[in-house]
Amino acid sequence: RLYIFTKERGGYLETTNKKAWKDIAAQLGIGPSSSGAYTLKKHYGKNLLPYECRFDRGGIDPGPILAQVEAQSKKKSKSGSGARPPSPGSQDSHDSMSGSQDGYGYPGQYNSYPPPGQGPPHPGYPGSGYPGSAGSR
């Protein structure tokens, strides 16, 4: 059914350009959400686009179509709503906290305390020596 609904709209490329994946998601009973539409588009591109290219597009390679759609989505995301500051969880956000390495204002040496391989063994692990653990007998 996904293939038929997509073909009715002209195929993968046309459905993507028309932004009709939400409509298809609704027709399939998934609901017209952005995440459902994105997932359908990804699955179609991976699984059904090669079929579409072979039988409906004269046996062409699906790679250039996927690359074209990917390039279009990257252009749109770059030219989207202007320059926005990085979100607090992004990789670039550490620049906004001078001297901070972990995002909480602590220098880098406190990011993993105790340092790996040092510190008390975990209770309950064999050989830890704690009462009730597998290795305390």
pLDDT tens per residue, range 13-43: 999 999 999 999 999 999 889 999 999 999 9
pLDDT in tens, 117-133: 555 555 555 555 555 55
- Alpha-carbon separation of residue 114 from 100, 109, 122 (angstroms): 18, 10, 12
Q: How many CA atoms lie within 13 A of 38 on its CB side?
A: 5
pLDDT top residue among 101 and 117: 117
Look up the pTM and report it.
0.56
